[in-house]
Structure 1
Amino acid sequence: MGLFSWLVIRTASAFGLLPHQRVRRYKVTLFGEALGTFTLPIGDHMEKPDAFIRPVLTPPFRIEFGEDSYYYWAEPDPDGGHKTVEFHPPTPELREEAARFYNTANGLIAPGRPDPARQQPLPTRSLEEVQLIRAILDHRDTDRPYLDYAAWLSAKGDPYGDFIRLTLGIAALPEGDERRGRLEERVGKIVAKYGPRWALPLAKIGIYPGVYIGGYDGYFPTIFHGPKGVIEELDIERDALVFPANAPRLFHAAPFLQKLKVAHGDLTVGEFAAIPQFAQLESLSLSVAGGTAEDVRRFSESPHLSGVRELGLSGCRIGPEGVEHLARAEWLAGVHSLDLGSNALGDDGVAALAGTPNIANLTTLDLRYNGLTDRGLIALCRSPHLARLEVLNLESNEFTAESVRTLVTAPFAQTLTSLNLSSTQLGADALTVLATGAFPALTALEISYCTTSDEGVRAVVTAPFFRAIEVFRANSSGAGDATATALAAHGFVQLRELELANNAISDAGVEVVARSKAVTKLTTLKLNDNPFRAAGTSAVAAADMPLLEHLDLCRVACGPEGARALAAAPHFKSLKQLWISEENVGVAGREALLRRFKDDVVTFMS
């Protein structure tokens, strides 16, 4: 279950929005198509709730939560808008009826099994339209082919052409431009009138056009349409009815799709090997069931992935045998970003990956949570095929100083811009070795949750390459006042984001950093769960950080005095989020913070 589904259920349950519902029989129609007669919640929003015929704008969608099922769908509202209806059937009879409504409306024999007799053939496109679509797919970086397609649609009397043209016009105007507001108003009227029909092809394969969270009606027919007026990105969860049977319908409904994410625990990577429309994708992310090495082989031999430049296979449990098949995939040579996190690759799997020339174009490699040890990291660092690597995520593996020595001399040490070593069990000796590296391009470094100490973090902070670091995360790393002093000693640096949560930094450490030039460019500062108090908080409030947008001081004993200092901070004019513990500021501190920043900025945490 995704975050959206969880929010629907949790929020609805928490606020009592799912009582025993009054029901009655309705004949349901979908844009004039009779779906059947069903027992449904009484439509109090309807102009005539007792009317026998009940029109809907989408088939029902279902969320399963344990043994419960929740259903929701969109309907027209008499005021001209839209209404999302939710149904949580409370009895076995109503649960059976809701399931019948769901299966019938979605053309299913049973959940997830399309009924061939009810599958209408896909509408055909003219050769001219196909050529216009192909021109967009081949030239996404310019507006001209989109405008040509829009003109063709408008000439045929299709209002979608005006929608595309106006949307492109909005994207070309700056925020605040009065012309933008006028265009947005015109687009809103077009969407209100025609949007539900545009959304219907996706709705018919289980992709809900909007969000619905505990009574918040979020039916937005064009929610998936991007700044060019067409759908180019989609995230699909298991509650949808797309794969494997409805892939052609997905790409017919979204012919310009180039970025696709799929989360489905009942499918394997092998089931995505034979989808010819994947040839138009530039980005593909699959979070699916493990399957077998044979499934990975089928996927790796797919002839439809040559256009993919970003590939995510996180959590697919590929294993060392599976990654050997992946390493032999010819299309892998075109991939620039590869996410293999949480796949149980082990050292043997990473060694197989490191040995293939098909990874020569990789600039981003994610190997978090793969059970790697020194042997795997050394194999990776000695690969002759990773000279272009810029981003490397090794989080939650286990290394020592031995493999870090190889890391600092790896060919890609010269090109790395981002390195994540969080939760890799690195000790002070390993971080001291890391500090000897040159890393001339490095701008982001994460060493949180390592088994280190103030000595190890201080070694990194004093490294020559640290002066160019823009993002530094060392939460729960044993950093103390000595690290803070070393950071302050740099003077002006490039730091934009600094996270030192849950360390041993006292008032003295915070004061020396806050008064230094090292923090003047910060947009994010997280010092939560440190032992400093009001004096340190007051120093943060007085710091010269005019760009600061995010500040986390949760579970810091700042007291009312520190809260008042924050409320009077002279430089916090850009602050967008402040997290602070309510019990540590008192009533007076809370009121002072709310007067200065309002509740859309301040979040009081426990």
Structure 2
Amino acid sequence: MGAMDELLRAIVDDPGADEPRAVYADRLIEAGDPHGELIRLQLQLARLRPGDDGFGALLAAQDRLVAAHPERWLAPRARRVAWLRRGFYWRATIDEVALADAELARHPIVAIDVFDARAPDALLGSPLLLRARTIDFFYEDVDPEALPALFAHAPRLTSFHFSTDEPLAVLPLVPPSVAALGLNVSGDVAAVCAHLSGRRRLSLRVLRPDEAGLAACARLADLAELAIVRPPAALPSFPPLESLRLVHCDRLPPLPPVRRLEIDSSFDGDGVVRALAADPALAAVEELILALWLSPDSVAALARSPFAGRLRRLELRGFRLEDAEVLAPLVPQLTTLTVGALGAALDLERVLGPRLAMLTFIEADEPVARRLADGHFPALGRVSTVSSQPGAAIIAERWPQVWAPLGDPDRGG
């Protein structure tokens, strides 16, 4: 085995270590291989957060590099470029694993997404499965009969996400070594929660909440992420959460402390946002994602809230930003901004603050796209839009559109 193969084996065997990646990158750069520069850029990015000095410039350099070599990073997995992390793919689909993709085997894959309820036989002997730390069945109801063989062939598995109408049939099959669980919970929520003790990280999506079920969820000491479909007007007292998602939320309940809050769909989006602006729990929120149709008045109320001081990422997916004054109080602190559309007369200099590293919008007319592409925004490293919309080609002249336009940054990158 040559020195490069040994370095690659060290990267695959220890996905969390930076040193072998850095040495491997230096060797590739010496050989003129652009993969070395990608590893170097992404190692630097991994040490920074959006808004830190230099983050935007590194992000832009990374995207230009990926766009310059589409045969390496765009053609094979065009929809999963965001699964490149610290220079290598970290996630794969079950189809790629089952095909025994030789190129993919050179990457430290630790997560597998499954699109089929049963694990194909070809998957069970894959070396990628032997290395997997996370398996995600959220896209398809899992078949309990397939799980014993799957777990037997995934000895390093520590995280398992699944969807099923019968969680009580699945949970007894999950080995105790799997410390992190994510699942859709329906039926007897309290009975499901009784089977979750001993896990160190829990992500739950409660489909039909009732008082007893939510109270059982609130007693889970290791609950990190919670989604509630049609939340009631009152919630029990939860411990601080990493993430809370409220779906079909027509009235905002009192909130627990939460770092990331998402509200998706409401008959009264403006009323929900005004209530949020007045809720002291907003003071803990760093990332706020609102998939709601909103008026300028409710967005302005949110921006003026005395509790909005920690907001860094703001997504207003159903809002057309016409007037820079609406967001003015938040502009100095935002590092990531998503809006539905940019108005033609929008004063970009007053919206794109000194820390804003990533901007996403669905729609922008060509004049505002041109002003954006020609403007001086040194912190802005990535601008994403929808390719079929006016102005998209102009944006792509400056910011290559290599990442999913409306993708979730937590999913990779």
What TM-score, normalized to structure 2?
0.66
How has the CA–CA distance of structure 1 residues 294 and 467 changed in structure 2, closer, same or farther, with 3 Å as cutoff? same
Paired letter, 2:186: G
Shift of 1:463: 1.5
| Counterpart in the other structure of 1:391 | 225
What does 1:318-397 correspond to in 2, within 5 Å? 318-320=164-166, 323-329=167-173, 331=175, 333-341=176-184, 346-348=186-188, 350-356=189-195, 358-367=196-205, 372-375=207-210, 378-383=212-217, 386-394=220-228, 397=229
How has the CA–CA distance of structure 1 residues 346 and 172 changed in structure 2, closer, same or farther, with 3 Å as cutoff? same
Q: CA separation in 1, counterparts of 2:106 and 2:366?
A: 57
Q: CA separation in 1, counterparts of 2:76 and 2:339?
A: 37
Asked if 1 retains the 8 angstrom alpha-carbon contact of 2:114 and 2:140, the reply is: no
Q: Do residues 455 (structure 1) and 304 (structure 2) align?
A: no
Q: Do residues 283 (structure 1) and 81 (structure 2) align?
A: no
Paired letter, 2:158: R
Q: CA separation in 1, counterparts of 2:383 and 2:301?
A: 27
Q: Do residues 414 (structure 1) and 239 (structure 2) align?
A: yes
Shift of 1:523: 2.4
| Counterpart in the other structure of 1:599 | 397
Q: CA separation in 1, counterparts of 2:226 and 2:389?
A: 40
- Secondary structure, aligned partner of 2:114: strand
Q: CA separation in 1, counterparts of 2:203 and 2:386?
A: 35
Asked if 1 retains the 8 angstrom alpha-carbon contact of 2:115 and 2:140, the reply is: yes
How has the CA–CA distance of structure 1 residues 308 and 291 changed in structure 2, closer, same or farther, with 3 Å as cutoff? closer
Asked if 1 retains the 8 angstrom alpha-carbon contact of 2:277 and 2:302, the reply is: yes
- Secondary structure, aligned partner of 1:347: coil
Q: CA separation in 2, counterparts of 1:269 and 1:580?
A: 34
How has the CA–CA distance of structure 1 residues 390 and 479 changed in structure 2, closer, same or farther, with 3 Å as cutoff? farther
| Counterpart in the other structure of 1:579 | 385
- Secondary structure, aligned partner of 1:475: strand
Higher RCO (C-alpha 8 Å, min separation 6): 2
Which among 220, 242, 248 is matched to residue 425 of structure 1? Answer: 248
Which among 91, 113, 118 is matched to residue 268 of structure 1? Answer: 118
Shift of 1:324: 0.9
How has the CA–CA distance of structure 1 residues 364 and 293 changed in structure 2, closer, same or farther, with 3 Å as cutoff? closer
- Secondary structure, aligned partner of 2:271: helix
Q: CA separation in 2, counterparts of 1:529 and 1:515?
A: 17
Asked if 1 retains the 8 angstrom alpha-carbon contact of 2:262 and 2:290, the reply is: yes
| Counterpart in the other structure of 1:543 | 351
Asked if 2 retains the 8 angstrom alpha-carbon contact of 1:541 and 1:565, the reply is: no
- Secondary structure, aligned partner of 1:381: helix
Shift of 1:226: 9.0
| Counterpart in the other structure of 2:59 | none
Asked if 1 retains the 8 angstrom alpha-carbon contact of 2:358 and 2:383, the reply is: yes
Shift of 1:452: 2.2
Identity of aligned residues (%): 17
Shift of 1:542: 2.1
| Counterpart in the other structure of 1:512 | 325
Asked if 2 retains the 8 angstrom alpha-carbon contact of 1:391 and 1:416, the reply is: yes
Q: CA separation in 2, counterparts of 1:239 and 1:171?
A: 23
| Counterpart in the other structure of 1:528 | 340
Q: CA separation in 2, counterparts of 1:280 and 1:572?
A: 40
Paired letter, 1:527: V
What does 1:126-275 correspond to in 2, within 5 Å? 153=1, 160-161=5-6, 171-172=21-22, 181=26, 183-186=28-31, 235-238=92-95, 241=98, 259-261=110-112, 263=114, 265=116, 268=118
How has the CA–CA distance of structure 1 residues 464 and 264 changed in structure 2, closer, same or farther, with 3 Å as cutoff? closer
Q: Do residues 466 (structure 1) and 304 (structure 2) align?
A: no
How has the CA–CA distance of structure 1 residues 257 and 352 changed in structure 2, closer, same or farther, with 3 Å as cutoff? farther
Asked if 2 retains the 8 angstrom alpha-carbon contact of 1:579 and 1:602, the reply is: no
| Counterpart in the other structure of 1:482 | 298
Q: CA separation in 1, counterparts of 2:285 and 2:109?
A: 33
Q: CA separation in 1, counterparts of 2:379 and 2:126?
A: 52
Shift of 1:283: 2.1
Q: Do residues 500 (structure 1) and 308 (structure 2) align?
A: no
RMSD of Structure 2 on Structure 1 (CA) = 5.0
How has the CA–CA distance of structure 1 residues 601 and 309 changed in structure 2, closer, same or farther, with 3 Å as cutoff? same
Asked if 2 retains the 8 angstrom alpha-carbon contact of 1:232 and 1:256, the reply is: yes
Q: CA separation in 1, counterparts of 2:122 and 2:214?
A: 28
Paired letter, 1:456: V
Q: CA separation in 1, counterparts of 2:158 and 2:85?
A: 20
Can you list the C-alpha shifts for 1:71-101, whole angstroms capped at 9, x where unaligned?
xxxxxxxxxxxxxxxxxxxxxxxxxxxxxxx
Q: CA separation in 2, counterparts of 1:463 and 1:541?
A: 30
What are structure 1's unaligned runs of at least 5 residues?
1-152, 174-178, 192-209, 219-223
Q: CA separation in 2, counterparts of 1:570 and 1:600?
A: 12
- Secondary structure, aligned partner of 2:288: strand
Q: CA separation in 1, counterparts of 2:11 and 2:317?
A: 46
Asked if 2 retains the 8 angstrom alpha-carbon contact of 1:481 and 1:506, the reply is: no
Can you list the C-alpha shifts for 1:461-514, whole angstroms capped at 9, x where unaligned?
2211213322111122445413323422438722222111324x674xx43333
Paired letter, 1:363: R
How has the CA–CA distance of structure 1 residues 580 and 256 changed in structure 2, closer, same or farther, with 3 Å as cutoff? closer
- Secondary structure, aligned partner of 1:268: coil
Q: CA separation in 1, counterparts of 2:317 and 2:84?
A: 39
| Counterpart in the other structure of 1:14 | none
Paired letter, 1:308: L
Shift of 1:379: 0.7
Q: CA separation in 1, counterparts of 2:352 and 2:84?
A: 41
Paired letter, 1:511: A
How has the CA–CA distance of structure 1 residues 569 and 255 changed in structure 2, closer, same or farther, with 3 Å as cutoff? closer
Asked if 2 retains the 8 angstrom alpha-carbon contact of 1:360 and 1:385, the reply is: no
Q: Do residues 313 (structure 1) and 162 (structure 2) align?
A: yes
Paired letter, 2:239: Q
